[in-house]
Chain A
Amino acid sequence: MLLEVKAASVDFGRISAIRNVSINVEEGSVVTIIGGNGAGKSTTLRAISGLAKLSAGEILFEGERIDHLPPDKIVGKGIAHVPEGRRVFPDLTVEENLRTGAFLRRDKDAVETDLTAVFKRFPRLKERRGQRAKTMSGGEQQMLAIGRALMAKPRVLLMDEPSMGLAPVIVEEIAKIIEEIHAQGVTVVLVEQNAELALELADYAYVLETGDLALEGPAKELHDNEHVRAAYLGI
C-alpha cells in the first residue's frame, strides 16, 4: 500500500474534525473522499500533508510514518497537495508560482522539461506566464494550482475540491486533466463535494459523514448504492 491513514483523529480544540478514519491508497489508483460540508474531507487531506496534526492514529507513506513531519518535509517525500480554494500566490507571476512548486527539486534540467510540459498541458498558463496570479480567473487559478503541484513531480497528488466554484465547462476540463495525470502514473486522492464527478473518476471511494467514515467501496458500487444516491447524488 502506497499511502495508509490508520485510525486517524484530528481535533480542533474540543471539537473533533475526524474520528478514527482509515483510508488506503494503492499505487496508481484514484481514490476519492466524498461527503457533505464539514464532514472532514479537507481535514483528512490536511492531515496527510502535515497541515493538521493527528490527535490519534498514524499515517504511513510506503510503510514509513509521516504524521509527525512538517508539511515541507512531506512534499519532499512525493506528496503534493492542491489546497482548497486554490491558494495560488497572488502577487507572484504564473511562472514564479509554477517554479515555487519545484522548490525542493535539484534536477534543474528536468524542472525545465516539466515546466514546458505544464505549459503544453495548460496553454492558458503559457500565455499568461508573466502575469500576476491574482489577475486570473478562477478556472485559470485552479489550473495554476494543479500545475504548481505537478512541478513537484509528485507520486501522490492530493486534490481538494478542484471543481469548486467553476463553470460546468471548466469542471469537465478539470476532470479530463485528472484523468491525464492519472494516466501518467500519478496516484490521486480526490476530495469532492461533486460526488457524481468524483465517483466517475475514482476507482475506490470513501464516504465521510460528520467526521466518521460511513461507507467505503469501489466507486462503481458506491455510485449504485441507494444511500449514496439519495444523500450525495440527488437521485
Chain B
Amino acid sequence: MLELLVQTGLNALYSASYISLVAVGLVLIFGVMGIVNFAHGELFMVGAYVVVALYSQNEVPFVLTVAIGLIFVGCIGLLMERTMFRPLRDNPLGGLVASIGFLMILQALASMTFGVRMAFVPPVTQDVIEFTDKIRLPVQRLYVIIAAFGFLTALWLFLTRTRFGWALRASAQDPEAASLQGISITQTARIAMFIGAGLAGVAGALTAPLISVNPHMGHSVIIAAFIVVIVGGVGSLEGAVVASAAYAIVHTFVTTFYDGVLADITGLLLMLIVLIIKPTGLFGTADRA
C-alpha cells in the first residue's frame, strides 16, 4: 500500500509539473493583460505538434525540438497580442471571444496538416528508474519534472530579479501607475504573451511522447489549468504552482483508486469548495481579483 501511495505521488508530481507550466502562463497573461486566453490549451497542443513535425517526422533531436517549441509557440503568442489583444485592449470580453475563435483556427490547422487521428511520437528514452519493484519512474517523466522545475525557477528569477520582471509585476498590479513609471503597456503585454504562450508550448512539447497527441488535446489541459488558476487565486503565480500540485495530487489519486471521470468531477468539486470557503482563491487578494 505504501508503495502504491509513493508511486501515485510520483505520478502526481509529473502531472503537476506540466499543468503548472500551462497554468502559470495563463495567470501571467491574465495578470498583465486582463484577458482570459481560451486558446491556451491549443498553444499546448501546438507545442506537441512541433514535436510531431520535427522530432517524429524529421528526426530533429528532442531537446532542440523542445527549444523550438518554446520559441515557435511564444511567437504565436506575440502574433495573438498584435492581431487580437492589442486592438481589443479596452474590451476584455472581445479578447476572450477572439481567443475562442483563434482556438478553433489552431485546431483546424492542426487537423488539416496532421489529420485528426492520434499522432505517433516515438519515446525519447525507454529507461525507467526502479526504486523498488513497484515504485518506478520512467526517465521521460523525470525529464518533464526537471524541465518544469527549471522553467518555473527561471521565471521566478526573471520576475523578482530583473527590471523587466518588476515591470511585468508592476503592470499586473496597476497598469496605469506602471505607465507613469515609463513602463510601456504594449511592451509588457508582449513579454507576457511570449512567456505565457512559450511555457504552454514547452509543456506540450515535453509531454508529447507521453500523452496522446491530437488536435483536441488542449481541452483537458485547459480545464485543469482553469481549475488551478481559480483555486490558486486569479492573478497569483505562486498560487498557480501550489494549486497545480494540489490538483494533480487529488486528480491522480482519484484516478488511480477510482477512475478518471470521478477524478474530473473531484477536481471541479475542489474548485467549488475553495470558492465557497475563500472566494478569492488560496493566494488571491480581493483588490487584485
Contacts of B176 in A (CB 8 A): 51, 71, 83, 87
CA distance A57 to B184 in the complex (A): 25
Contact with A along B176-188 (1 / 0, CB 8 A): 1111111111000
The number of chain A residues with a CB under 8 A from chain B is 25
Contact with B along A197-226 (1 / 0, CB 8 A): 000000000000000000000000000000
A90 within 8 A of B: yes
Q: Is the CB of A70 within 8 A of B184?
A: yes
Beta-carbon contacts under 8 Å, B184-231 to A: 184-185
Interface contact tally, CB-CB below 8 A:
71
CA distance A147 to B100 in the complex (A): 43
A169 to chain B, nearest CB (A): 26
Contacts of B181 in A (CB 8 A): 72, 75, 100-101, 103-104, 148, 152
Q: Is the CB of A76 within 8 A of B177?
A: no
Q: Is the CB of B182 within 8 A of A72?
A: yes
B119 within 8 A of A: no
B89 within 8 A of A: no
Contacts of A148 in B (CB 8 A): 181
Q: Is the CB of A100 within 8 A of B178?
A: yes
Q: Is the CB of B170 within 8 A of A51?
A: no
CA distance A99 to B174 in the complex (A): 15
CA distance A103 to B185 in the complex (A): 13
A26 within 8 A of B: no
A160 to chain B, nearest CB (A): 11
Q: Is the CB of A70 within 8 A of B173?
A: no
Knowing A89-B174, A90-B287, A103-B163 are in contact, say whether A83-B180 is a contact too (CB < 8 A): yes
Q: Is the CB of B177 within 8 A of A87?
A: yes
Beta-carbon contacts under 8 Å, B160-174 to A: 163, 166-167, 169-170, 173-174
Contacts of B285 in A (CB 8 A): 90
Closest residue of chain A to B287 (Cβ to Cβ) is A90
Contacts of A51 in B (CB 8 A): 176, 179-180
Beta-carbon contacts under 8 Å, B224-260 to A: none
Q: Is the CB of B169 within 8 A of A75?
A: no
Q: Which of B176, B179, B181 has the most CB of A within 10 A?
A: B181
Beta-carbon contacts under 8 Å, B268-289 to A: 285, 287-288
CA distance A196 to B176 in the complex (A): 30
Candidates B180, B185, B287; contact of A75 at CB < 8 Å: B180
Q: Is the CB of A89 within 8 A of B163?
A: no
Knowing A51-B176, A99-B163, A103-B163 are in contact, say whether A89-B182 is a contact too (CB < 8 A): no
Closest residue of chain A to B187 (Cβ to Cβ) is A72
CA distance A226 to B110 in the complex (A): 76
Candidates B163, B184, B288; contact of A72 at CB < 8 Å: B184
A44 within 8 A of B: no
Closest residue of chain A to B169 (Cβ to Cβ) is A92
CA distance A87 to B177 in the complex (A): 6
Knowing A70-B179, A72-B179, A87-B176 are in contact, say whether A92-B184 is a contact too (CB < 8 A): no
Knowing A75-B182, A103-B181 are in contact, say whether A90-B163 is a contact too (CB < 8 A): no
CA distance A96 to B176 in the complex (A): 17
Contact with B along A70-83 (1 / 0, CB 8 A): 11100110001101
A62 within 8 A of B: no
CA distance A228 to B136 in the complex (A): 82
B263 to chain A, nearest CB (A): 33
CA distance A45 to B181 in the complex (A): 15
CA distance A123 to B93 in the complex (A): 45
B282 to chain A, nearest CB (A): 15
CA distance A152 to B177 in the complex (A): 13
Contacts of A49 in B (CB 8 A): 180
Question: Can you name 15 A-B residue pairings with CB atoms under 8 Å?
Answer: A49-B180, A50-B179, A71-B180, A72-B183, A75-B180, A76-B182, A80-B180, A87-B176, A92-B169, A92-B173, A100-B170, A103-B166, A103-B182, A104-B181, A148-B181
Measured CB to CB, the residues of A under 8 A from B are 49-51, 70-72, 75-76, 80-81, 83, 87-92, 96, 99-101, 103-104, 148, 152
Measured CB to CB, the residues of B under 8 A from A are 163, 166-167, 169-170, 173-174, 176-185, 285, 287-288
